[in-house]
Amino acid sequence: MNKRLAILMASVLTVGAAAADMPDKGALAMDNVAKGEWRFGGEMGARIDANVERWLLRAPGASPGLLQMFHRRDRHWPYAEPVPWAGEFAGKYLISAVQACRMSDDPRLDPFVQEFVEALIACQAENGYLGPWRADERLLGHWDLWGHYHCMLGLLMWFDDTGCQPAYDCMVRAADCICDTYAEGERRPVDAGTPQINLAVLHVMAELHRRTGNERYWTLIQRIEEDLQEDGDWLRKGAEGVPYYQLPGGGTRWESLHIVQGFRPLYETTGEARYKKALVSLWDSIRKHDRHPSGAFSTHEQAFGTVYAAGSIETCCSVAWMALTIDALRLTGDATVADELELTAWNQAIAAQHPSGSWCTYDTPMDGVRAPSYLQIHFQYRPGTPELNCCSVNSPRTLGMLSEWAVMEDDEGLVVNFYGPSEFALTRRNGERVVIKQETRYPVAGAVRLTVSPAQASAFTLKLRIPAWSKQTAVEVNRAPIGQTPEPGTYLALERSW
């Protein structure tokens, strides 16, 4: 990669609109921009467009079992029953579809996703159950809580972006169904089995409790916290500084990163430092010991404490790594954390997805052959779901998450993390509208021209990520040098009226 970076700034005025914010006990260093339109050019833009055209708009029709498995749950299967995690497919698909809506001008996409949401809601049982398993098995085994986690998270994201009340109501009914099973009585969340996976429901329950303050959800969260000690003990060990690869039981699995994600909303809700410490410590141990040079995480689907052990590097693992990294960035405001997102996005994410957008890998090795996931993990195939597997529905999130970290917001203003040809129309917390445009061939070339266009003259701080690898960075504003030397691995703060 280039060892030099030049950033040219320009300030332009245009016209614009509204938004709001929400206080918490545990303050974030920075957060996602809640409302915005994210448009990418160059290779990233081409990949996003291909993913929309050849996967997101095509997948539900090409694999109708994506939702049919919910409707057929109480029937006799005329073939092998679904894989234990099949309930996740619809949720993972929806999460990436919601993210894609933020990044695409395709007029077909929003109504298509709304129709999918309505179809998913129609799959819900009367008691709120939202999975593919028979009445006597619901939430009691398989990876059923894990499947609910993804469906609920996708519905919550759609509600946050669109205000779709039926999506929110569906998610709440599912949460109540889980509470009916595990919040009271002798049955505990750990009894669902595979705790390193099923207990990831902590994440969405923590998000839901942060919004509602519902005491029943808090009771379930406390039970899950207690049950964490039965397997990976992520919270206690993480707060003690134990590296991720040394966690007990199944705690080194990649799926458990979604458990750790739950610590961020719990920190926001309570302000308790142990949640933040555990998440950041476990994240940092993965960066030091288990993140491959390509930015990918895991070997044979878990942490080993070395990036040199031979083994598959699963796409889903890197999706979870990027999602956790965004949470670590929100908590720390550390520019080197954003460097990790850049590394994974430009190397692992693009490497895992075929340029056509129609398929992704399961294993993206450091060398060797990249093969379609529907060949590498074909055992997940069932009639009606020929292209569905854990990675095919999950891989698009590596692109979709750009909408969550490319530009973020803190108490002082906006934070630019992503460099590449792009244009972002953002609504800040105070309701001010700002457009940020980048003209660049980055990362092929080191020059980046940013144009900042607020709807009206506005004083705020714009922070620019100075990559740790850039040994010599020059920044000009309106063609004039800024008079300071940017430090690699930090944010350069430009405080002025734009």
Q: For residues 89 and 130, is the Cβ–Cβ distance under 8 A?
A: no
Structure tokens of 245?
């690869």
Each residue's pLDDT tens digit in the chain (498 positions)?
446 677 766 544 322 222 233 357 999 999 999 999 999 999 999 999 999 999 999 999 999 999 999 999 998 877 788 999 999 999 999 999 999 999 999 999 999 999 999 999 999 999 999 999 999 999 999 999 999 999 999 999 999 999 999 999 999 999 999 999 999 989 999 999 999 999 999 999 999 999 999 999 999 999 999 999 999 999 999 999 999 999 999 999 999 999 999 999 999 999 999 999 999 999 999 999 999 999 999 999 999 999 998 899 999 999 999 999 999 999 999 999 999 999 999 999 999 999 999 999 999 998 889 999 999 999 999 999 999 999 999 999 999 999 999 999 999 999 999 999 999 999 999 999 999 999 999 999 999 999 999 999 999 999 999 999 999 999 999 999 998 899 999 999 999 999
Residues 6+ away with beta carbon under 8 Å from 149: 88, 91, 200, 201, 203, 204, 258
Q: Pairing mode, if any, of strands 447-454 and 4-11?
A: parallel
- pLDDT of 368 reads 86
Q: How far is CA 15 from CA 35, 206, 385, 413, 432, in A?
A: 16, 38, 47, 19, 10
d(CA 415, CA 30): 8
Sheet holding 31-32, edge to edge: 31-32, 407-409, 413-416, 459-466, 490-497
- pLDDT of 309 reads 86
- pLDDT of 10 reads 56
Handedness of CA 424, 53, 63, 360 (dihedral sign): negative
Q: For residue 329, give the 3-state DSSP assignment.
A: helix
d(CA 401, CA 126): 33
- pLDDT of 22 reads 36
Exposure string over 59-71, b if 16+ CB within 10 A, otherwise e: bbeebebbbebbe
Query: Residue 259's closest CA among 305, 324, 184, 193?
Result: 324
CB atoms within 10 A of CB 378: 12
Q: How far is CA 9 from CA 3, 297, 446, 458, 490, in A?
A: 20, 35, 14, 16, 18
Q: How far is CA 371 from CA 299, 312, 352, 377, in A?
A: 17, 12, 9, 10
Q: For residues 26 and 440, is the Cβ–Cβ distance under 8 A?
A: no
Q: For residue 433, give the 3-state DSSP assignment.
A: strand
d(CA 297, CA 283): 11
Which pTM does this prediction carry? 0.95
- pLDDT of 13 reads 31
Q: For residues 366 and 294, is the Cβ–Cβ distance under 8 A?
A: yes
For residue 355, which amino acid is it? P
